[in-house]
A = this chain, B = another copy of it.
Amino acid sequence: MSRCENCIIRQFNSLRAMSKEELKKVSDTKVSKTFKKGDAIFEEGDRLDGVFCVRDGVSKLSKLSSNGKDQIIKLASKGEILGQRSVIAEESANLSAIAIKDMDVCFIPKESILHTLNTNPNFAVEVLRHMAKDLRDADDVIVNISQKTVKQRIAEAFIYLKDNFGEDELGFLNLSLTREDMSNVVGTATESTIRIISEFKKKGIIETSGKKIRILNIPKLETVISGL
């Protein structure tokens, strides 16, 4: 089994602020796990006794609202640490984490994390910086959802998917969400998303092939986002 000390993923998250010794301890207690598309890594309300470091795949972090719909708060992929907020706050999970692409993760028991937090200020500050960034992102999402139209938000979501997950050789988005997941990201009804995607197709802004989506005209997308 691979050792954390040699793990490249580490470079992308706060674990890089751990000392050699701390990493060794983490490595000794960690457990590799895999999750298939659709599997839950954890669910809202679960007590987490550790965090999950994503080595491969993608997970959606969502929260069930009182009207029965899921709201996707974030998409997490390689390098992200899941469950950190709950472990630090010593609360049960406020979000569910469901795999939307087969995942390869390391489970790290919370003891190593909490101990390092309490003894290594570098690590604590590194985690703090990450959380500060998440918080700013959340603020931006709040503004977007409440001040932009559904069409603008969907256009933004495509740009987001391109920028964060990239495109394959043929220009198709590496990560294609179902219309329903897309709706849960932007906070709207599935039918609305379908209609707007159809409209984008008719206008030559995007193109689909099977369930893959290719962005054809970024300037037009930007125009939609700007709301003109």
Find chain B residues with CB under 8 A from A144 CB. 65
| Chain B residues in 8 Å Cβ range of A127 | 128
B73 touches A139 (CB 8 A): yes
The interface residues of chain B lying within 8 Å CB-to-CB of A138 are 135, 138-139, 142
Q: How many copies does the complex hold?
A: 2
Given contacts A88-B129, A132-B131, A141-B142, contact A65 B148 (CB under 8 A): yes
Interface assignment of A124: CB less than 8 Å from any CB of chain B: yes
Contacts of A133 in B (CB 8 A): 89
- Shortest distance from the beta carbon of A61 to any chain B beta carbon, whole Å: 9
CB <8 Å contact, B136 and A94: yes
- Proximity string of chain A (108-144) to chain B, C-beta cutoff 8 Å, 1 when within and 0 when not: 0000000001111110110111011111101111111
Please tell me if the beta carbons of B145 and A142 are within 8 angstroms of each other in the complex. Answer: yes
> At the interface, yes or no: A2 with Cβ under 8 Å from chain B?
no
List residues of chain A with CB under 8 Å of any chain B CB.
63, 65-67, 69, 71, 73, 85, 88-89, 91, 94-95, 117-122, 124-125, 127-129, 131-136, 138-148, 186-188, 226-227
Jot down 30 A-B pairs with beta carbons below 8 A, ordered by A. Answer: A63-B142, A65-B143, A65-B147, A66-B147, A66-B226, A69-B147, A73-B142, A73-B143, A85-B132, A88-B128, A88-B129, A89-B133, A89-B136, A91-B136, A94-B139, A117-B121, A117-B124, A119-B121, A121-B121, A121-B124, A124-B125, A124-B128, A131-B132, A135-B138, A138-B138, A141-B142, A146-B186, A146-B187, A146-B188, A147-B187
